Every structure is written in structure tokens, then in C-alpha cells.
Amino acid sequence: MVENLFGRIMNQVCENPSSQRDVTLQPKRPALSWGVKIKRKLKSVAPFLGRFRPLVGQCCHQCTPESLGLKLLCNTPPLGFQNLTCVNETHTGYRGWLVRRVCCLLFVWGREVHPGPAGDRRHRVHSSERVKKALVTACSSDETKAMELEMPEVRGHLDTILAVTQTFISPSLLRLVNWLLLKIFDLMFCNVQINLNQVAALRRSTQLKAPLVYVCVRQSSIDHALICLTLFCHNLRVPYTIFPAHVRQTWLRSILQRLGVVLLPEGSGSERDAEMDSLYSPVMTSFIGELLRGGASLCVGISTAEGHSGQWLARVHQAISDGLVPDVCIVPVGISYDCLPCHVIRSQASVMSALGFALSLLKGDHRGSVRIHFAQAFSLKEMCESGKCRVDGGRPLQDLLMTAIVHNRMDSIFSQKDVSWLLPDAVMPELPPAHRQQTIALTLHLIYSSTTNMAVMSTSLVSCLLLHKHRKGVRVSMLCRDICWLLEEVLFRNTDVGFGGSLVGLVHHAVSLLRPYLLLAAAPPTGEPIIAPRSDPDSLLILSKQCDVITRVFIHEAVGACAVSAMLSEVVGCGGGEDLEFDAVLGQNELTEKSLQLTHLLSPGYIPPCQNAHSFALDVVDSMVRCGVLVMEEVQTDAPVCDFMKRHGVLSWTVSDNPDESSDSDCEEPDIHTYKLSQPSQCPKLLFFLCSLLSVQLRALCWALESLHYLPLPITEKDCLSQLHTHLKNRAQLDGARYESSSIDLVKMALRTFIDLGVLIEDRQREDVYLDANPLFSQGAYKEKLVLFFKQFMFN
């Protein structure tokens, strides 16, 4: 169906020179066919900034200036990209017809592997002072009695935890598994692209004689496998992988432990349950220290979920504080998927899902690509001990926004938001407060660095345009023009893209991957294809997931557009009209305040952690002028704007009878900036597109707040999350659309926001966390004010 519809527009594309735009940033082998042959070769025209690939992955210039000064990413000429799964005889030291058939096996067996035997690691961990103190606390207050005769139940539990320290790397098994991964990923993806300049920078980082810790944002269960395979294929040390999951099968645990995968101890239900154990944290801290002291590398996955990020980074930092290693180099990693198979997203896979995954691999249909970006390594010691990294705890979100929501006062919003829940006090209670704040700041940096290093894929461009600009459908010719526009805007914001080829091939590749979630039809009389997103929940959720990276790229403009929408809504409320008045004058201070309020609602990872919220809000207003949504109005004064000398009073004085009343401020005039929409006579389409990017999260907040009174409070956090998710799905079903606002990730975000705002009160107990309603928000007036606060940023 897709080939037939696209075949009708082939001749139009080939005959129209304006549509022969080439988005090639790096040549790649043609892997897809349109179903019909294009006899006429498309002319290659480079897009805006297409000849100069954006330099991404540099470390923070404010927190790690010395690491940035090493210029690990800038000292080599462009080396291009490599498809990791494309292995042939040129990658081996042999030639011949037999080599061509076993080249992958020869390549894998020729890779250098750094073995990591366990040795007496278990004994060293057990004998560490940290573990001894934990045993004293767990067994008895009498230290002599605790060391001579441990309680049997404590000894058995400790042996279970210490079994994790027996993890090691077997060279033979590692080569065999990586050979299988090359075959599986070759069936799963059409290519796995690696930037060779970044690999060369990694090689130079190993010369610093410091262990490397690779940090990525958790997306799927194959993230760590892709990182380890990349390092293995380039003769770099394969890291120990922190994968806190519970594996019940003994044989599978044994294989994973021989590959350097650190799992949860047997009997632990979840990572949170394990962290609540008084013995688990000291043992893991000593274990991480022993690994780093032996020169091993680590691979850690982080997320914005509570207690699922900072504790492993805190243990790495603790190894430096204990003097086990002089320094550690942190490498943020960004992994971008064209379309991630649903089988690798699920945390618990059944036998039927595994069979379905195997059948999908054998069919080989709709294979997407992967782009892996390794950012520049930076010194952890420099970041944490130089004093240049912001480690202020901030203020609770309730203190920042509640006065603005309830009393309409803006004096408290000019502060930073507290995100101490990334590493709660219940996790690693032995950690000093100063180290805890440094770990939280480090976690924020790595979340931001990993997400900004992700490349924008072709499916993200198409999904964003279909979901936020052409929800009712669009012609393919119009879609191609919008892709060119959006691509140039992405490149202009110093964000890399993970694709290459002609524009026609780009659209066909993206639509082929997204075909199960799209509707295609032919428009009479020309028969040009029309594409529209399906309206079922699964399709909208998957398309919305693809748009997350675009929202992060345009976060300044999206926040600014929502702030403009909020101010326009206030103009309508004051005037009593029903339609928005686009010819209104907007003040800079009001725009900044609205932007600052919405900035506080964003999840971690959207704004640079070194930049305070007020500075970010000022940049938001400037970005609205740069992108053309707003234009600055000139203030009518007696002196021209260009008359700099007179404006600043260089040649003018104020005459006063009382010399004590005169001051330098008499000859200064405050700059008053006002703005207007660049298209007041019509509805600005760009403003609506940018507002729509954040409307998904804002709508989820409104729906979740309206559904709180259906919950049987008090309730455990787990049950609250499940029931709230059900209510949001039912709300989307009643609405008949906007299913993308009912995802489980947005429900978690809304629940975290309500806790920070004080709408829900946490009651932390050892067994679980209970949530109850704040009596203040049980009143209808306060709840209505909060709903209106969320809705003001949503453009309807």
C-alpha cells in the first residue's frame, strides 16, 4: 500500500527541483527500496548547516573547564561513521572466500579483551571497614561479639549479598556473546551507527590512567548491550554493567555474572527493596570501590525516577573520597532509536513474547537504525571538588509556586527547585549531606548531558509533525517541506541528526517504520498520498514517545510559547471576549514570570543544571524573538534609540538645589521592553506548534488533578500510580482523543509534581510509602486555582 501510494508521487519529486533537497550529513549505504525504481538520479543539495556537522558531546564549560580544555573531541579531522553490525573480511587480517564466510567469527576472536577475575574480591569486601560497621549494627551493639560470632540469619543474608561480588568477565564467553549480539542486532536494526571521532576521543581518554564510567539514560533492556558491544568491537575495555534487576533463573544469573553484569541479590524484589537493606548499601559501596581500584570500567543507567539514579554515582564518588582511586572519568552516552521494538521495552518477558520477538527478527520487516553518541569524558574529581559546580539544595516546589498560584504573588519564584528526591535520605543513609548534594548535582548534569547528546532520528521528525502540526492529515509534498524546515531548525540548535540520504528516501524510511501507527489515503484528483496518525491509544502513545527528543530541542521556544498563550488568555479574561486578541502588547517582566513558573514544572533534564531558572526564563523570552514569534516594540522617547550618549546620560546632568538629592540614577532611564506577536492579523501557526509540544504534559497534570478525588486516600504509592493511570486512560477514552497524555511516564511525572507541590503528603514507612491528600487542597477553591494554573499554559 505504501509503495503504491508513494510511487504516484515519485515522478513529481523527480521533476520538481525544489523537492530534491538532500539531507545527507554522512553517506550511508542504500538499504531501502521505494518499490519502484527511480530512473532519474536526484540532485544533491546540502541543507542549512548540512556541510558542518554540529559538534555535540562537549563537557560543561562551567563545572569542568579543565576537562573541556583537553579538547578530546576537537583534535582530529572528521573520521565519519561506522556501521557496527557490518563486519566483512576487511575487518580481519585475512583474505579469501572462506574468510568471507566466517569473517564475523574471526573478527570477534581477534578483539582484545581485558579479563576481570574475581580473585579474593569477596574477602576484601567482607573485610572492609564499611561492611564491618554495618555488621556491628545488624548483629549487636557489642563489636567483639559481632565479629566473633555473627548471627546465623545475618551471616546467611550477608552471603547472599556477597555473592554479587563474584561477578567477573570471562574472555571466551564474552567473545561468544558478542558474536551472537552482532548477529541479533544485524537482524533487529538496519544499522548501528558509531561516530568514529568520539571513539578516538575515548581512546585518548584511556591515556589519562583513570577508570571510565559510562552513564546513559535508561530506555530499554538493550542499552547496556549496545554500549558494551561498541567498546568490545573497538578494542576498548568492556565495563562491568550495573543492571539492578532480579533474575530468577540460576543458569541465566550465572551467565550474566560471567559477563560482568551486576544483578540484584537473590530474594530482592526490586531495587528499592534492596536499597532499604542495611547491609546491601555498604557491600555495594565497597564492591564498586574494589572494581575501580582494579582499573575496571563501569556502565550505569540513570533515570528521573526516585532512588533509581544517584546511589551508584554516589558510590563512585565515595571511592574517590576513600582514596581508592585518584580520579574517575565520566562519559555520558546518548542512544537514539528509530523505532525501538516493543519486545525490548518490557521489563518482564514471557515465553510467547520471546517467540514473537524471534519471529519478528526472522521476518526482518521495518528495521530501524540506532545512533550511539559518546560524549567527552570529564573528571569527576574536578566537578565535585573544584567548587565550580552548583550544589545548592534549592527550595521546595511548594514554596516556589504556591504563593503564585493561591495568592498571585511572584516574589518567591526566583529560586531553584529542590530535587532531593533523586537521592532520598532513605537510600544510603550513611552518606554525608555534602556528598549527597554533590551527587544530586552530578545526576542532574548527566541526565541533561545524556539526553542532549541523543541524535534526532527521522521517525522523530515525522512523528512530531504529524502529532503536533498535522494531526488531521497532511499531503506528502507538504510533509517534505515541513521536514526540511524542522531539520534546519534542529541543526541550527546544535543538535545532531541520526540519518542520511535524500529527502524522498528519508520520508519513505520513516513512514515505513511508523506504518502500523499511521493512516494513508490517496487525495483526488491527483492521487497524492495523505498521511495521518491513527487515533487508537497505542499508536498515539508510540508517536508521542518519538516526539520527546524534539520537545527537548525546542524547550526554550515551547516554554515561551506557553507563556505567551497564558498572557493572551489573561487578556481575554480581562476583556471579556471569547477569542484571543493577537494584537496585544506583552511586557518582558510578565513574560519572564510566566516562563519561570512553567520552568519549575519541568522534569529534570530539560534545562542546563548550571543555569539558574531565572536566567533560563530570560533566554526563553529572547528565543521567542529569534524564532520570529515575537517582535520587540521600540519605546517612543524624545531621544532616538541609537543615541547611546544621551540615553546613558554621558553628557547630561541633573540640576538640583540640594546636592544631597542628586545621584547617578538621575541621568539613567530604565529600558522598558514590550513585545507583540509577529502575525497579529492571523493565527500564528508556529505559536500553536510550539504550544502543542508541552500540552501533552500539561494536559496530563490537569487530568491527574481532576482524578485525585476518585482515589481511596490514604493509599500506597504503587497503588496510587496504578489507579491514577487507569483514571487517565478512562479520561482519554471519554475525551475521544489525546491518548498520548495518559502514558505511565506522564502519570509518574504528575504524581511527583503533586508531591512536590504539597497536594499529596508522603508518609514514609519501612514497608512502603503512603500518600494522603493535603487538607488545603480538599477545598474546591484551591483545587480550582491549581487547575486554572495548569490550563493557562495550554492553548486550546
Span 737-759, average pLDDT: 93
Name the nearest CA neighbour of 282 among 128, 151, 437, 442. 128
- Residue with the bigger pLDDT between 40 and 572: it is 572
Q: What is the pLDDT of residue 284?
A: 95
CB neighbours of residue 730 within 10 Å: 14
| Sheet containing 474-475: order of strands | 474-475, 528-533, 518-523
Query: Is the per-residue pLDDT at 535 higher than 80?
Result: yes
Q: What is the pLDDT of residue 15?
A: 43
- Residue with the bigger pLDDT between 31 and 564: it is 564
Query: Is the per-residue pLDDT at 505 higher than 90?
Result: no
Q: What is the pLDDT of residue 364?
A: 59
- Residue with the bigger pLDDT between 3 and 401: it is 401
| pLDDT tens per residue across span 309-350 | 789 999 999 999 999 999 999 999 999 999 876 655 544 444
Strands 715-716 and 769-773 turn out to be: antiparallel
| pLDDT tens per residue across span 13-22 | 444 434 444 4
> Residue 55 is placed in which grid cell?
559538534
Query: Is the per-residue pLDDT at 363 higher than 70?
Result: no
Q: What is the pLDDT of residue 228?
A: 96
Query: Is the per-residue pLDDT at 140 higher than 50?
Result: yes
| pLDDT tens per residue across span 696-713 | 999 999 999 999 989 998
> Residue 712 is placed in which grid cell?
481511596
- Judging by beta carbons within 10 Å of its beta carbon (0-12, 13-18, 19+), is residue 278 exposed, middle or buried? middle
Query: Is the per-residue pLDDT at 659 higher than 80?
Result: no
Span 580-594, average pLDDT: 81
Rounded CA-CA distance 697/678 in Å is: 27
Amino acid residing at 648: H
Rounded CA-CA distance 2/36 in Å is: 11
Q: What is the pLDDT of residue 660?
A: 46
Torsion angle defined by CA atoms of residues 513, 516, 517 and 522, in that order, rounded to the nearest 10 degrees: 90
Q: What is the pLDDT of residue 322?
A: 92
CB neighbours of residue 465 within 10 Å: 22
Span 660-665, average pLDDT: 44
| pLDDT tens per residue across span 428-469 | 888 888 899 999 999 999 999 999 999 999 999 999 999 999
Residue that is written with C-alpha cell 519478528 in the block: 360
Backbone angles phi, psi at 615, to 5 degrees: -65, -40
CA max distance for the chain = 102
Question: Alpha-carbon Rg of the chain, whole angstroms?
Answer: 29
Mean pLDDT of the chain: 82
> Residue 134 is placed in which grid cell?
554495618
Q: Which residues contact 256 (CB under 8 A, 6 or more apart)?
A: 243, 247, 263
C-alpha angle with apex 435: 429 to 441, nearest 5 degrees? Answer: 115
Strands 368-374 and 189-195 turn out to be: parallel
- How large a percentage of the chain has pLDDT more than 90? 44
Q: What is the pLDDT of residue 352?
A: 54
Span 338-364, average pLDDT: 59
What are the beta bridge partners of residue 773? 760
Specify the long-range contacts of residues 14-20, CB closer than 8 Å, at least 24 apart. Answer: 14/38, 14/40, 14/42, 17/43, 19/477, 19/480, 19/481, 19/503, 19/504, 20/45, 20/502, 20/503
Rounded CA-CA distance 451/582 in Å is: 35
> Residue 145 is placed in which grid cell?
561479639
pTM of the model: 0.88
